[in-house]
Amino acid sequence: MPLLHLSTWPEVETYLQTSQGIILPIGSTEQHGPTGLIGTDAICAEVVAKGVGEETGAFVAPTLNVGMALHHTDFPGSISLRPSTLILVIRDYLVSLSRAGFQKFFFINGHGGNIATLKAAFAETYTTLLDLNIPGGDRVQCQLANWFMVRSVMKLAHEVYGDREGSHATPSEVALTQFVYPEAIKEAILDPEVNQTCRIYGPQDFRRRYPDGRMGSDPSLATPEMGQKFYQLAVEELSRSYETFLTQD
């Protein structure tokens, strides 16, 4: 499992002679309802990324634990970067790694709220690499892979949870965290009525709209066993995606 942070720089130098790809897990630190862990999105992204790294031999960078979760910040314990900050962070990561010779950046993402900002950041970075005249910068490619939107994962979640999957603090993501941290399974009485819409505006509006933090989900359905299945499906499918990404022009 070639984790970047457990490697040395000469090992990276050697790796770059045969591959210019790297996997970057990105999650979020935000409320996930009464029973979901604040680190859910980072935990999921990290474990899936490590799995894909094992399967493919790709380097896995340290996890971006904090993402764009401004709409959750009216719940205590949530931490968010502003989109404009996250764009700079991604730019700094990719400039550092591109200068060293990396060219294929595969982001494994655990949080829907990161998607827009990440895409904006990729566009901003491509032009920044051009501005800085970084050799090979015009060959840099970023791909965004949301583990929770992987076809097989969504299919299974739909089959098992139906409408109770919801769109935040979902049983599928909670299950995956239970698989990783069985010692941290939380219990609470969940209101069976839960807002099924998924409109998102500002942080105060979010808390008024979704008072316990869930968006249409029933995380009490989660089990570690299902979590393991989601893990396996995600790793399997994203490993194939990564390999395709590496080889395609």
- Sites for its own copies among residues 22-61 (CB under 8 A): 29, 31-39, 42-43, 61
Nearest to 89 by CA among 51, 110, 63: 63
Binding mask 133-172 for its own copies (x = CB under 8 A): x---xxxxxx------------------------------
Residue from 109, 117, 146, 172 touching its own copies (CB under 8 A): that is 117
First to last CA, the chain: 26
Region of 99-107, 149-157, 158-166, 231-239 interacting with its own copies (CB under 8 A) = 99-107
Binding mask 214-243 for its own copies (x = CB under 8 A): ------------------------------
Nearest CB to its own copies, comparing residues 66 and 233: 66
Binding mask 67-86 for its own copies (x = CB under 8 A): -x-xx-xxxxxxxxxxxxx-
Nearest-angstrom CA–CA distance, 41 and 188: 20
Nearest CB to its own copies, comparing residues 63 and 233: 63
Region of 153-161, 182-190, 220-228, 235-243 interacting with its own copies (CB under 8 A) = 182-190
Nearest to 69 by CA among 24, 91, 39, 34: 39
Number of residues that bind its own copies (CB under 8 A): 92
Nearest-angstrom CA–CA distance, 23 and 233: 18
Contact by Cβ (8 Å): 8, 57: no
Residue from 92, 163, 191, 225 touching its own copies (CB under 8 A): that is 92
Nearest CB to its own copies, comparing residues 12 and 160: 12
Residue from 158, 184, 211, 225 touching its own copies (CB under 8 A): that is 184
Q: Three-state SS string across 47-73, please?
A: HHHHHHHHHHCCEECCCECCCCCHHHC
Q: Three-state SS string across 152-200, please?
A: HHHHHHHHHHHHHHCCECCHHHHHHHHHHCHHHCCCCCCCCCCCCCCCC
